[in-house]
Amino acid sequence: MPKTKKQQVLELVRKQGVLRPRDLDQFKIARVYLSRMCDERLLKRVVRGIYTLPETNLDEGTEIEEVCRQIPKGVISLISALEYHNLTTQIPGSVWVAIEHKSRAPKITYPPIRLIRFSKKLFEFGVQTKKGNTTQIRVYSPAKTVADCFRFRNKIGLDVAIEALKDCRRKRAATIDELWEAAKVCRMSKVMKPYMEAVV
């Protein structure tokens, strides 16, 4: 017995976590099903153009995956990368994502993002590709993330960068050599040196 349109929509949202109207187009399902299913409480609208299951609580992990889906060439960075690697107690209100300096700024309505631009060299250094629940996640390595935190210490706070460095060493998320390499690439060697020596 073929699946109904509603069953197809529910299957899709379970697979992806969140659903946008354009996600239905390839399956030739009318977008009106989204509003109808919200009326029937089969779906809930998070913000305009973003739908999920009523019982779904969108956490940082879900939001990171949604950003990676909408900005496939972006890289999760700074506070969001720290949280991804479990190297901070900070709870970001937005998903921090890096793009290459000359790239066009993405138009994204949800989730909220903080955009960072890097030169080509800094953008490409330290990128890791991880498998998420619904999509691939491009995120900076722990070492590159720590160096970036020192580089952007005026934006996120020096205390956050120091905490990240300490956690990185305590949890052995990166070696001293990896941290030094990242510090050099990010031109943070002089800034990070005293803090690095303190945690060796």
pLDDT of residue 154: 96
- How do the domains of the chain map onto residue ranges? 5-52, 60-199
pLDDT of residue 16: 80
pLDDT of residue 159: 94
Q: Count of residues for the chain? A: 200
Q: How far apart are CA 99 and CA 134, in angstroms?
A: 21
pLDDT of residue 58: 59
pLDDT of residue 109: 76
DSSP conformation class of 19: B
pLDDT of residue 73: 94
Tokens of 51: 């739908």
Mode of pairing for the β-strands spanning 127-131 and 75-76: unpaired
Q: How far apart are CA 126 and CA 140, in angstroms?
A: 5
Residue 78, phi-psi category: left (phi > 0), alpha (psi -120 to 50), beta (remainder): left
Indicate the burial class of 79 (C-beta count within 10 angstroms; 0-12, 13-18, 19 or more).
buried
Q: How far apart are CA 152 and CA 82, in angstroms?
A: 13
3-state secondary structure of 114: strand
Tokens of 115: 């955009």
Q: Name the E strands within the chain.
A: 44-47, 50-52, 75-76, 95-100, 113-118, 127-131, 136-140
Those residues of the chain that have pLDDT short of 50 are: none
